[in-house]
Amino acid sequence: MASFYLAFIDGQWQRFSRLPARKAIPPAQHQIKWELEGWEGYCIDEQKRMWRKPHTNRQGRNKGWKRILPIEKSAGYQGFDLWRDGKRYYYSVIQLRRLLRRSPGYGPLSPAPSTEARA
């Protein structure tokens, strides 16, 4: 059994003690912008790195500001610059996932209505 593996990466052969893992391919920026349209009401303070929901629960709680967690580099790629209302916002993938889970439009997309004539 070989004590190392050869892999052709970036135009040259390289030795590895174990096979290199594939890098995650991020979604295109225009796709993420499209997904983020569902939470327009969320307030985000980039200077303080805080965000909050636009509504409370039934008891009037959970509208307080929450910290945007630091960027985790283990995600395979750093983050995205998103433009909204003429301002640039920087989000890591983990931040985007957490905000999308809390958005009102989160979930599987409803199927498109069929254009076939019904008999």
Each residue of 23-82: pLDDT tens digit? Answer: 666 666 666 655 544 455 566 666 666 776 666 666 766 666 777 665 444 544 556 667
pLDDT at residue 101 tops 70: no
Nearest to 75 by CA among 98, 53, 52: 98
C-alpha–C-alpha distance, residues 30 and 37, integer Å: 11
pTM of the model: 0.26
Question: What would you measure as the largest C-alpha separation in the chain, in angstroms?
Answer: 68
Res 119: pLDDT: 46
Confidence of residue 6 (pLDDT cuts 50, 70, 90): confident
